[in-house]
Structure 1
Amino acid sequence: MAGFEDASLSLDDFLGGQVRLLQPKQGYRAGVDPVLLAAAVPAEPGARVLELGCGGGQALLCLAARIRDLRLTGVELQPDYADLARRNAAQNAVEMTVVEADLAALPVDLRQMQFDHVIANPPYYRAGAHSPAQDVGRQISLGGATELNLWLDTAARRLAHKGYLHMIQRADRLPEMLSACLGRLGSLEVLPLAARVGRDAELVILRARKGGRAGFKLHAPMILHEGVSHLRDGENYRAEIRAVLREAAALPWPG
């Protein structure tokens, strides 16, 4: 039977305790990335939202804490994490459908559905391009075998006309993401995320629109931390980033 044993899980606060998530003590544990991804989505109440590779449901549940009455669906390949996402939805009293499936073989009923928003936080490394992790769940989360092209194709097929995709990924994989959008998605915008002033951006958030025709936008990097170096213990996020991470504020997407 799928599912983590209770003793192997911790209960962790996100968004200043507005969201409480069960996570494996050993295995994939969410950082700020899914929180930032959720904060970038300009959804309205009642919108249909699909997450590809939802893990334990972190991004969807953070989005639900900011925007009420969303119709949430997650797709997750690993049975243990799909079960964990369902448990986390119940833990936070959020209605969410979790479908256990491979992106390459979605169930027929899901393939007939359209969504206003699709979000994704795909594995950051190509399979075999990073040091192997001992935990299988963490191994898949770091370096999945599914190509980014399939992630983008699946997202485009599931989006309704004028629907939005948001994807967070390593900056060095941006060329793959942009190439996969050609002929599928338009109105591409890229928001680089840099740890500090003067640092290269390690992550990017891609925003794309089904049927969008606006020109490409490469925004100035969003800086996450104060100062040019870490000078003291404790977190030193910039005020607008702290509001995202602790108060469920929307990410201040450039106009």
Structure 2
Amino acid sequence: MDEALTRDDYLGGRLSLWQPARGYRAGIDPVLLAAACPAKAGESILELGCGVGTAALCLSVRVPDLRITGVERQADMAALACRNASETGAHFQVVTADIATLPDAVKQQSYDHVIANPPFFLRSESHASPHPAREAAMGEDTALATWMDVAARRLKPKGWLTLIHRTERLADLLCDLGTLGSVQIQPLQPRPGREANLILLRARKNGRAPLRLHPPVTLHTGEKHVTDGEDYSPAIRAVLRSSAPFPGF
């Protein structure tokens, strides 16, 4: 086995993925993203910035017969996504490209769902990571407005965008909705009594429903981590270990 890679289990062992041993390694964010996407069997999915395919392949475990396309600009990560897709048998096509300059094969398609986990951090306000793959995943290079515009353009009418991001970027997300409406916001708080530091957002192309702000979902039990084992709340554990849909969203 290549020592630069590890093969890690997700969804309680229902899914095993190759990813770099160092640098950016997928955590729970793409798993939560996949759980929040309201896809149904037979629908089409586009993931912008798919990395090694964690969110897309987690979604394929929960929902059968999806047609998934992933776009990833880092060739080594795209190659791992292809490998993971091949080994899982998912109907998952990976395109190596920048989301800002999509190839015609993608631009000529429209999708029932777009999912994305855009880079969280403005590098005008934070320090870059020394690991290129981690920096590409976490440091905003392509503007968040571009992510939103590309997603909206690739959605079918009434199609859904689902994404996960930092709470402090919510104002930017709402300003960049464009043709997207029927917005739903799900705050994620790390522990009881803590401020939500992440949000899941859903928006529908040409949607007209009022904005909905859901009650916060707590990721961990207890006020602090006190044991060696994990302390996810029961609902989040069901998402992470049993491929359950995201609760109440």
TM-score of the aligned structures, taking structure 1 as reference length: 0.95
- Map of 2:212 onto structure 1: 217
1:116, distance to aligned residue in structure 2 (A): 0.3
- Map of 1:81 onto structure 2: 77
Superposition RMSD in Å: 1.1
* One-letter code aligned to 1:238: S
Q: 2:171 and 2:145 mapped to 1: Cα distance?
A: 11
For 1:41-63, what per-residue CA distance to the aligned partner results, in whole angstroms no more than 9, with x for missing partners?
11111100000000000000000
* One-letter code aligned to 2:237: R
| 1:24 correspondence with 2:37 | no
For 1:192-222, what per-residue CA distance to the aligned partner results, in whole angstroms no more than 9, with x for missing partners?
1001111011100010001110001111111
| 1:246 correspondence with 2:247 | no
- Map of 2:3 onto structure 1: 7
- Map of 2:167 onto structure 1: 171
Q: 1:185 and 1:90 mapped to 2: Cα distance?
A: 33
1:225, distance to aligned residue in structure 2 (A): 1.1
- Map of 1:119 onto structure 2: 115
* One-letter code aligned to 2:207: G
SS in 1 for 2:27: coil
1:129–1:87: structure 2 CA closer, same or farther, 3 Å change rule? farther
1:128, distance to aligned residue in structure 2 (A): 4.3
Q: 2:196 and 2:182 mapped to 1: Cα distance?
A: 22
Q: Specify every segment of 5 or more residues in structure 1 that has no aligned partner in the other structure, as ranges.
A: none
Q: 2:85 and 2:124 mapped to 1: Cα distance?
A: 32
TM-score of the aligned structures, taking structure 2 as reference length: 0.97
| 1:106 correspondence with 2:89 | no
Matching residue within 117, 134, 150 for 1:154: 150
Alignment: residue pair count:
249
Matching residue within 185, 188, 191 for 1:190: 185
Q: 2:176 and 2:73 mapped to 1: Cα distance?
A: 22
Q: 2:2 and 2:85 mapped to 1: Cα distance?
A: 16
1:130, distance to aligned residue in structure 2 (A): 2.4
Task: Please tell me whether the aligned partners of residues 57 and 89 of structure 1 are also in contact (alpha carbons under 8 angstroms).
Answer: yes
Q: 1:99 and 1:93 mapped to 2: Cα distance?
A: 17
